[in-house]
Structure 1
């Protein structure tokens, strides 16, 4: 049993030293992808287009809500004198409007997300290609994303942000 324990400890030490040696031979850099993306002119243009599209959806949504609230207030004010059949008809109409509003919200959200992905994909691909090109030119084996909350705990090594911005023509 002691031999087994000794073998396991020796193996753990061997693999620990081996992986450290491999890591020491690899060159690692980092880049804050979020900072890079926020400075790209194409990203600013995409954000403006998404904002405009969102504002259009918001205006339509407000119009639907105003129409809904107006009908609800009218129907509540007239409920006592309208009669049971008319009130049931109106209740059904209000329910249909609520459903229409919910469907509009879902559709608008999906359309915005699709447009966002459509606009961002080529920008991300261009940025990734530039990061790869700069990393290769500088001899780095690995590039970590240093975006806050991205999982990189220490970023004291070389940053490629300025070089990639230069590659993409961003000042």
Structure 2
């Protein structure tokens, strides 16, 4: 039984060696590619403008909230219980609106970023596939730091060729 296991392991190793000898593997730092793409710069600029608009609106809402709160606190001693209660509810509602605005803004920013980056990623993917096919590469690994590639020295680096394919 032990000999059968050893034989099976040997066969698997032999087949794996044969497959890897016949396969051509390349790598590319997808993050570096995406960062270098002109479309990505334009998308980042667009996201920055949208972010600034949301930030401005948020700051205006918070300033209005703080101004009213300060005014209401100064007048609370002379305003009366009914008016103070109404103002407290108004401030709570205003605080909830600010919080909801912030959550909605974050969600919309995330969606907008996905919408902007998706076509850029698809363009990069198509260029990678085209270059890989032209070079006869069977597998392309992402060499971006932290992507799980443990070693990417040697082999074929497609970054320069893909940039050329994309025209930059």
Structure-2-length-normalised TM-score: 0.95
Say if 2:14 is the partner of 1:17.
yes
**Number of the residue aligned with 1:79:** 76
Give the aligned partner of residue 124 of structure 1: 121
Work out the number of aligned pairs and report it. Answer: 167
- Aligned partner of 2:60 in structure 1 is 63
Q: CA deviation at 1:86?
A: 1.2
Alignment of 1:25-104 (within 5 A): 25-104=22-101
Query: What is the deviation of 1:43?
Result: 0.7
Runs of 4+, deviation exceeding 6 Å: none
Aligned residues: CA RMSD: 1.1
Unpaired segments of 5 or more residues in structure 2? none
Aligned-partner Cα distance in 2 for 1:36–1:150: 14
Unaligned runs of 5+ in 1: none
Bigger mean CA offset, 65-74 vs 4-13 = 4-13
* Cα distance between partner residues in 2 of 1:59 and 1:69: 15
> Matched residue of 1:147: which SS?
coil
Partner of 1:166: 164
Give the structure-1-normalised TM-score: 0.93
Structure 2 distance, partners of 1:128, 1:47, is 19
1:17, distance to aligned residue in structure 2 (A): 2.3
Shift of 1:72: 1.4
Residues 1:153 and 2:150 aligned together: yes
How far apart, CA to CA, are the structure 1 residues paired with 2:84 and 2:3? 84
Residue 9 (structure 1) shift = 2.5
